[in-house]
Amino acid sequence: MSRRIIILGFFFLLIISCGYYEGIVQPTPQSYLSFLGNTKNAVVVIDDVTKLNLDNELIGSDGQGKSVLFQIAPGKHKVVVTRMGQEIVNRIIIVGDGATKEIQVP
């Protein structure tokens, strides 16, 4: 009888442990665009939707001029930089997960 209870107990534990789910939390993918160089009066349009004034987004400075860092979803993006209505950068970029893509603003 006690042997039967022990076997039944192991069977019960086996069933419970198989149903236990340990979840894995994955953070949201984050990538960045870094705009370097002459960012004065420069406006960036990303994917024809997001518009940034680089003068207002300044977070740091490098040795050659201003450096602006913008968080973006990983993937393919169209980046257009204009200054006083004149287009100075127009490119399509691919940014990997956790990567930072630098864009030089002349």
Name the residue with higher pLDDT: 59 or 74: 74
User: How many structural domains does the chain have?
Assistant: 1
The predicted-structure confidence for 38-48, as pLDDT tens digits, reads as follows 888 899 999 99
Specify if 2 maps to a domain.
Answer: no
Q: Quote the domain boundaries for residue 93.
A: 31-105
Token couple for 82: 């204009």
What is the share, in percent, of the chain residues with pLDDT greater than 90? 35
Amino acid at 7: I
Residue 18 belongs to a domain: no
Determine, yes or no, domain membership for 1.
no
3 vs 44 pLDDT, higher one: 44
Which residues, including other chains, have CB under 8 Å from residue 65's CB and lie 6 or more apart?
36, 37, 38, 39
Residue 24 is assigned to a structural domain of this protein = no
43 phi and psi, to 5 degrees? -125, 135
Verdict on whether the full-model pTM lies above 0.75: no
CATH of the domain at 41: 2.60.40.1110
Between 25 and 7, name the one with better pLDDT: 7
pLDDT at 63: 42
